[in-house]
Each structure stands twice: as C-alpha cells, then as structure tokens.
Amino acid sequence: MAESVSVEDASITWADGSVSDASLVTIAISPSEVATLLASYTPASSTSPSSTVSRTLARVILDALIAAGA
C-alpha cells in the first residue's frame, strides 16, 4: 500500500492552544491508490471503509511506529 512511510518527533499545537509532543507519521500513497481508497469510502456509512482497508492502513501506521521505536 504505502510507497513511503516516515515517523518524526514533533511538537504539536492543538486546536485548544495546548502544546504537546507527538509522533508525526507521513505516508506517501500513489495517486491510483488514493483514487481506489476514496472510491470505496462513504463518509456517511459507519461501516466504511471495509475492515480489510482499515486494517491495512492501521498496520502501515503501526509498523512505522514500531520501526521508529515510538
């Protein structure tokens, strides 16, 4: 799925004005993959995206966090 994933330490200012340390996860996804993901996503549906797509995205993020030692 992801062509490139990176994790960086960051300082984030949240909407309420509070500041905290965070992990910034950057995922590069090809335009064709973006189109496929968006075509299968219905924001109004609580069961969208499918569990397969959700799990795939979650694993990419979690693997990146593990690799970064977060």
* CA gap 57, 21 in Å, rounded: 23
Q: Quote the tokens at residue 54.
A: 């959700």
The helix/strand/coil state of 54 is helix
Check pLDDT > 70 for residue 70.
no
29, two tokens: 């996804």
Ranges of H-type helices in 5-67: 31-39, 51-67
Q: What digits encode the pLDDT tens for the residues 23-49?
A: 888 888 888 988 988 998 999 999 999
**What SS3 state is found at 44?**
coil
Tally the domains of the chain.
1
Range of the domain at 52: 4-67
